[in-house]
Structure 1
Amino acid sequence: MRALFVDANDTLAAVTERLLRADNLPVAINRNPAISPDDLPRLLDGIEIMIVDHTAVPTPIAAKCVGLKHVVFLGTGARSYMNPEELSRHGISVHTIKGYGDTAVAECAIALMWVAAKNFGEMDRGMREGNWLRRDAVQLTGKTLGLIGFGGIAAEAARMAAGCGMKVIAWNRSPKTHPGVEFVPLQKLLAESHVVSLHLLLNDETKGFLSRDRIAMMRQGSILINTARGAIVDEDAMLDGLRSGHIAHAGLDVFTIEPLPPGHPLTKLPNVTLSAHSAFRTPEASDNLIGAALDHCRRIIAGGR
């Protein structure tokens, strides 16, 4: 069996090459992160395993890739790019990678929280334009961080926030316990949290999870952080909340449409801090990610599944 990393950027290509040096795995690298789905049948001619970072894999296109049997998606959010159930019906298994960047993503969520609380983004933009722009800030020590969804990333965020002197509460779809974290009903979390941070996987049940009604339940003037997936939030409701001040600030690493289109309403609001879906981009996370992807390839080649 042969594998191809179809859309490697320079960073991930270099990591893949380094990790492959002492290995005989039949993995090739296509150093072009800007391919389109229509390129896949040509690229995957004779390839059984596709490693994919960010390219959409529509089911009708995948069905044209005659020999394709496995998709190794670099992350957990494969549903943003493909339909695993539909692909399965065409004999294509989708493999995802968990836990590779828990610390990196949690650090990004905490960083966005601090930038939002201190209004650094707005002051930085103002000063670059020649304005001595001063803004009041939120003191986070003693405030409450509410984590919606509690996996590895949220556990890391809880550890960091506790170290900053914050109270940490959480809600999860299935019962959980964690040292130093109080698990509460969702309505209580929304009402009491000074900062709400989203850590849910995107699926049919969580799409639009933070709805207009749930945003209305949030504490007046709270901060919203999203390093999970853009589609978890009702974007129009979030925009209305930001404009009214009900949401004081949003720190966002993910968006409903990516890349974020030029002139998008989020780019025009002063109380939004944006990052380009980069929470996981650290050398440590990249090594973990590619190492896990190559382990998937080893298992598939050794066992056929």
Structure 2
Amino acid sequence: MRALFADCTEELCRVIEGRRLPVPASVSINRGSPSETDLIRLCAGSDVLFVEHTVVTPAVLDACPSIRTVIFMGTGAGSYIDLDDAARRGVCVLTTPGYGDRAVAEHAFALMFSAARGIAAMDRQVRAGAWLPKGGLELRGQKIAVLGLGGIGATMAELASAIGMHVAAWSRTPREHPSFVTDLDDALRNAAVVSLHLPLNPDTEGLIDARRLLLPAKGFILVNTARAALVNERALIEALSDGQVGHAALDVFPEEPLLPGNPYVPLENVTLTPHAAYMTDAAYEELWCRTLRAYETLSRN
């Protein structure tokens, strides 16, 4: 069985090489982001495809019938491959959840702190020659709504509790968690911070709509390191304009990279990072090890 890693980033390559992680002889690694044409050429003769960030179109699977398994290196594979189409073809799509729980939660935590104290805005001002110190929100004692209680959300709830925040945690599936509340609206109501850690699917798309944006305290902080489409973007921009959302700290967007004219860019009450929450060396090592374990399981079967 032969595998192709289609799109190894420079960061992940550095970790694989620097930490001397194993690379099976049957696995070929392509650095960079291949075009559809490049991907078709690279996939020729491979049985398994590892994908970190590249969209696998039906045209790729048409041209590469030898591909029987796609291992998506992360979660949310449906954003990168049509799962129904893959199933009709008999192509198995696997994911590697859990590898970056701590990394993503810590990034969300950092975004929350940055938003609470206006760190990014003050940094820009100081660099521009302005000296405009501003006060901010002290997080101890504040309510945070943590939406999603998988590994990332549970870690975020733990971190928030550790600094004395009052955690109201909600997930679509009931959880045995000390901060779990059964009703989403109750979790959101009067929250000073809302942090999203839900998967994107038909039930969660647009879950945070105009009505739900009115439930937290006026001027609340919204942190999203999950998927952009969990939030109605038009409603969010309106809420940022009228002050209902005091600050949005975002790591995920409807289109990535951001296109010219993106509505968030000119807003001072928005902190933006480039879908980087999962990117730590420890998380990358765990991602590679979990990917190889999935591949080795396939090889044995």
Report the identity percentage.
42
* Matched residue type, 2:100: G
User: TM-score scaled to structure 2, two decimals?
Assistant: 0.96
CA–CA distance in structure 1, aligned partners of residues 142 and 14 of structure 2: 42
Match of 1:285 in 2: 283
Match of 1:214 in 2: 212
1:169-204 alpha-carbon deviations (Å, 9 max, x no partner): 11111111213x142411112212110000100112
CA–CA distance in structure 1, aligned partners of residues 138 and 15 of structure 2: 40
Corresponding residue SS for 2:13: helix
Corresponding residue SS for 1:57: coil
1:100-119 alpha-carbon deviations (Å, 9 max, x no partner): 01000000111100000001
Match of 1:191 in 2: 189
Match of 2:172 in 1: 173
Corresponding residue SS for 2:39: helix
Match of 1:64 in 2: 63
Match of 1:87 in 2: 86
Measured after TM superposition, the shift of residue 20 of structure 1 is 1.9
Task: Note if contact 2:157-2:169 (Cα within 8 Å) is conserved in structure 1.
Answer: no
When the two chains are superposed, the root-mean-square deviation of aligned CA atoms in Å is 1.4
Measured after TM superposition, the shift of residue 135 of structure 1 is 2.1
Corresponding residue SS for 1:287: helix
Task: Note if contact 1:25-1:298 (Cα within 8 Å) is conserved in structure 2.
Answer: no
Measured after TM superposition, the shift of residue 268 of structure 1 is 0.7
CA–CA distance in structure 2, aligned partners of residues 182 and 92 of structure 1: 37
Match of 1:20 in 2: 22
CA–CA distance in structure 2, aligned partners of residues 14 and 295 of structure 1: 20
Number of residue-to-residue matches in the alignment: 299
Deviates further, 283-292 or 12-21: 12-21
* Matched residue type, 1:20: P
Match of 1:120 in 2: 119
In the alignment, which of 213, 228, 231 is matched to residue 233 of structure 1?
A: 231
Match of 1:5 in 2: 5
Task: Note if contact 1:177-1:183 (Cα within 8 Å) is conserved in structure 2.
Answer: no
Corresponding residue SS for 2:238: helix
Measured after TM superposition, the shift of residue 25 of structure 1 is 4.5
Unaligned regions of 5+ residues in structure 2, if any?
Answer: none
Corresponding residue SS for 1:268: coil
Matched, 1:137 2:136: yes
Task: Note if contact 2:240-2:269 (Cα within 8 Å) is conserved in structure 1.
Answer: yes
* Matched residue type, 1:53: E
* Matched residue type, 1:292: R
Corresponding residue SS for 2:45: coil
Match of 1:267 in 2: 265
Measured after TM superposition, the shift of residue 68 of structure 1 is 0.5
1:38-87 alpha-carbon deviations (Å, 9 max, x no partner): 32221100001000110111223322212110101110111111111211
Task: Note if contact 1:15-1:290 (Cα within 8 Å) is conserved in structure 2.
Answer: no
CA–CA distance in structure 1, aligned partners of residues 125 and 196 of structure 2: 29
1:230-263 alpha-carbon deviations (Å, 9 max, x no partner): 1111111111111111000011111111111233
CA–CA distance in structure 2, aligned partners of residues 302 and 25 of structure 1: 15
Task: Note if contact 2:4-2:43 (Cα within 8 Å) is conserved in structure 1.
Answer: yes
